[in-house]
A and B are shown apart, each in its own frame.
Chain A
Amino acid sequence: MECHEVDKNGKKLGGGVSRRDFLKFCAVMAASIGLPLGAGSKIAEAITDPNRPPVIWLSFSECTGCVMSLLQAHHPTLDTFLLDLISLDYTRMFMTTAGHTATALRDKSIEENKGKFILVVEGAIPTKDNGIYCKSGGRTALDILKDVGPKAAFIIALGSCTVWGGAAAAHPNPTGLKGVDKILTDKTVINLNTCPPSPYNLLSTVIHLLTFNELPALDDKGRPKFAYSRTVCNNCERVYNFRAGRFAWQFGDEGHKKGYCLFALGCKGPQTFSNCPSILFGGAGAETWCVGIGHPCCGCAEEGVGWTLPLHQLGDPLYHFPPSHFARIDEPVGMGATAAAAAVVAGSVGIAVGAGAVLAKRLGKEEKKAKELSEKEDATVAKEE
């Protein structure tokens, strides 16, 4: 870590990155977790603080896909992430040490940073038969988690397995896999769903924790709202096809080739909450996510959808809130009164009524006159007589 620049306050700066670029990165980071612009400098401060809390990374029943996904990150790259941005004190995957030495280091760091460190858990926890199906250093995953969990300041469950069991816990779930929040029931667990999880969601969460030392806003399922508050459809580039009813009906058909919506192929986008379409995977460029490459979303981010519903069963747009362009039942149709039309109608009715009234009045007068005249005549006749 020698090569790092030191700024005027004596703090380390990102490896090989100019201060300008670094601040830019922080600003982008702030934006991606939905923080105001000014938060960028606060982030810069937090992640360059030499005393920032360390991260302990525990791996249980998993496939290492989460880490593989992490490896694909490119903004920042994994090395920047691990070496400069966070202070990773233990991870089974990237440590040069192994075995008891590593475990000892881990335990040391945990003791030293008790109540301060961030715990990242990767992989589900077998609970059947006292959790004997996953062991590390002679201890069961269950045991380790129950031991380490309470000592952490924050716990991040990374990946669908860790959240609720994911693919590993698919029916019939022989080892009784469970998610972290089912085991550490008295702690708030930050759930980062999807299989594999997005490295950027992890990074953003960690940085949020480092910067503000508090949980990001979570939804009722413990997922950070900045990443999981909208359905996949909401950000999907094919959603305009959904709303126009343009579907791919079979793999390879015309609609599929044209990039129509995959709903009819069983896409679970409408009922899955995740930011996959906007944050993408693997850093390979535009449209590199499931639907982008032509496969329906399988709902990996949603308990009860991914590995539970058949892959090509139609999704259920439970959460597809109808956009405002829908005609309502009582959408008014037709033209009401305009001032001009009302005036013409009122005018014509007025003239007709007025003419009638005038005529009636004149008739009345005439009658009266005739009456008077005849009375006079009668009078004269009477006089003459």
Chain B
Amino acid sequence: MGINRRDFLKGAAGSGLLLAADASPALAFGPRTPKELPPDAVGILFDSTLCIGCNACVFRCKQANPHMALRPEFNVPIGGLKIHDTPIGLSENTLTVIKLYKHDGGHSFIKHQCMHCIDPACVSACPVTAFTKDPKTGIVKFCKRVCIGCRYCQLACPFVAIGFKWDEPFPEMVRCQLCDHLIPLGKYAACCSYCPTGAALYGRVADLRKEASRRLDLEYGEPYRFPVNHIESGRKSFRPAAKYYPNIYGDTEGGGLQVMVLAGVSPLRLGLPDLPDVSNAAVSEGVFKTIYKWFAAPIVLLGALVYLAYRNTEEYRKPKDEDD
């Protein structure tokens, strides 16, 4: 059963083919084209310099999503409303949370929630299309009906913004859906409509981006009329501008987010990840789609393999005496 040099080389070429099928596109991949922000997309601008940590948003969010808006068919309190608890982070009971960043010079609050990525990893990852991005509002929606609970979405989400009901025998995923169940009622995100300071501000992302850059242009201490609740609500809070860290988190981070953050310190110190401008979804899909474009590579590979296998099982196909 010696293997001669020629066969070895031939075989090596064959296995090289196997690897090349993977390698060449993987080496020559680029991210897929980033997704665009729908023109009428809605979102939230969170201004940490305005937030007073009152938790109205957390409380109202729980009230607006009693045992989660994700299942309106069961929209009755089960086992009591967990409304006024003290959540330590996002979880199956908490779609948004105010967290505290403390340092010697003071403190900042940060609102954590699903950031409604423009190019969301969860949508790209879910095998059964339980996540979808609304083409009009850009809201990343979740439909639990098809979800099989593989939790790949949780793994993929850069903000760890998806909760799973770990302690239930028949669990489901939960996360902020930008209160899209309130939009038909003529209302909008509960957290914003009850934020007294305007720290959490709802509106069209395009408007919010303009508002955010206006704020960054303010001098420290310059009086400014900060819109409250909804950017079009007309409610304003008049106060001097704080010192801003010159970055709108979510303008480009992670391919852009519909929930943006302004802060007095670097948003990275507020527990937000340092994301590249190309979303992880685009990178992953870039590799994936290059390999599986038109399904060509696998088909070519299959052809080659069928040939090799056919040639190498010649003897096997011949009927043998002992078989009969």
Direct contact of A and B (CB under 8 A): yes
Question: A246-B59, A270-B52, A320-B53 are contacts. A313–B239 as well, Cβ < 8 Å?
Answer: yes
A325 touches B237 (CB 8 A): no
Q: How far is the CA of A310 from the CA of B100 in the complex (A)?
A: 29
Query: Does B3 lie at the interface of the complex (its beta carbon under 8 Å from any beta carbon of A)?
Result: no
B197 touches A328 (CB 8 A): no
Query: Does B300 lie at the interface of the complex (its beta carbon under 8 Å from any beta carbon of A)?
Result: no
Query: Does A243 lie at the interface of the complex (its beta carbon under 8 Å from any beta carbon of B)?
Result: yes
- Identify which of residues 50-104 in chain B touch chain A, using a CB-to-CB cut-off of 8 Å: 52-60, 84, 86-89, 97-102
Question: A245-B54, A313-B237, A320-B52 are contacts. A327–B88 as well, Cβ < 8 Å?
Answer: yes
Interface centre among B89, B100, B101, B196 (most CB of A within 10 A): B196
Query: Does B110 lie at the interface of the complex (its beta carbon under 8 Å from any beta carbon of A)?
Result: yes
What's the nearest-Cβ distance from chain A to residue B125, in Å?
21
Query: Does B107 lie at the interface of the complex (its beta carbon under 8 Å from any beta carbon of A)?
Result: yes
Q: Which residue of A lies closest to B226 (CB)?
A: A314
What's the nearest-Cβ distance from chain A to residue B262, in Å?
17
Query: Does A384 lie at the interface of the complex (its beta carbon under 8 Å from any beta carbon of B)?
Result: no
* Binary B-proximity of A243-266 (CB < 8 A = 1, otherwise 0): 111110000000000000101100
A314 touches B196 (CB 8 A): yes
Q: Which residue of B lies closest to A263 (CB)?
A: B196
Query: Does A129 lie at the interface of the complex (its beta carbon under 8 Å from any beta carbon of B)?
Result: no
What's the nearest-Cβ distance from chain A to residue B37, in Å?
28
- For A264, the chain B residues whose CB sits under 8 A away are 196
Q: How far is the CA of A314 from the CA of B100 in the complex (A)?
A: 21
- For B59, the chain A residues whose CB sits under 8 A away are 244-246
Question: A245-B57, A245-B60, A322-B107 are contacts. A329–B239 as well, Cβ < 8 Å?
Answer: no
What's the nearest-Cβ distance from chain A to residue B64, in Å?
12
Q: How far is the CA of A24 from the CA of B17 in the complex (A)?
A: 97
Q: How far is the CA of A314 from the CA of B56 in the complex (A)?
A: 15
- For A313, the chain B residues whose CB sits under 8 A away are 237-239
Q: How far is the CA of A329 from the CA of B89 in the complex (A)?
A: 9
* Binary A-proximity of B104-130 (CB < 8 A = 1, otherwise 0): 000101100000000000000000000
- For A263, the chain B residues whose CB sits under 8 A away are 52, 54, 196
B101 touches A247 (CB 8 A): no
Q: Is the interface of B mostly helix, strand, loop or mixed?
A: mixed
Query: Does A316 lie at the interface of the complex (its beta carbon under 8 Å from any beta carbon of B)?
Result: yes
Q: How far is the CA of A310 from the CA of B194 in the complex (A)?
A: 22
Cβ contact of B89, chosen from A243, A325, A327, cutoff 8 A = A327
Query: Does A22 lie at the interface of the complex (its beta carbon under 8 Å from any beta carbon of B)?
Result: no
What's the nearest-Cβ distance from chain B to residue A264, in Å?
4
B100 touches A329 (CB 8 A): yes
Query: Does B275 lie at the interface of the complex (its beta carbon under 8 Å from any beta carbon of A)?
Result: no
Chain A: interface size category: 20 to 34
Number of interface residues of B (CB under 8 A): 32
* Binary A-proximity of B21-59 (CB < 8 A = 1, otherwise 0): 000000000000000000000000000000011111111
Q: How far is the CA of A320 from the CA of B55 in the complex (A)?
A: 13
What's the nearest-Cβ distance from chain B to residue A247, in Å?
5
Q: How far is the CA of A83 from the CA of B57 in the complex (A)?
A: 55
Query: Does A317 lie at the interface of the complex (its beta carbon under 8 Å from any beta carbon of B)?
Result: yes
Cβ contact of B197, chosen from A314, A321, A326, A327, cutoff 8 A = A314
A322 touches B100 (CB 8 A): yes
Q: Which residue of A lies closest to B271 (CB)?
A: A329
B54 touches A327 (CB 8 A): no
What's the nearest-Cβ distance from chain B to residue A263, in Å?
6
Question: A313-B237, A327-B99 are contacts. A333–B53 as well, Cβ < 8 Å?
Answer: no
- For B194, the chain A residues whose CB sits under 8 A away are 245, 247
Query: Does A25 lie at the interface of the complex (its beta carbon under 8 Å from any beta carbon of B)?
Result: no
B271 touches A242 (CB 8 A): no
Interface centre among A264, A313, A326 (most CB of B within 10 A): A326
Q: How far is the CA of A321 from the CA of B53 in the complex (A)?
A: 10
Query: Does A385 lie at the interface of the complex (its beta carbon under 8 Å from any beta carbon of B)?
Result: no
Q: How far is the CA of A245 from the CA of B53 in the complex (A)?
A: 9
Q: How far is the CA of A314 from the CA of B269 in the complex (A)?
A: 27
Q: Given contacts A322-B100, A329-B269, A331-B99, could you give 4 more A-B pairs where the C-beta distance is less than 8 Å? A: A243-B54, A245-B57, A245-B196, A313-B237
Top 3 A-B pairs ranked by shortest CB distance? A245-B56, A326-B100, A264-B196
Ordered by A's residue number, 7 sampled pairs between the chains whose C-beta atoms are within 8 Å are A244-B56, A263-B52, A314-B239, A317-B53, A322-B102, A329-B270, A331-B99
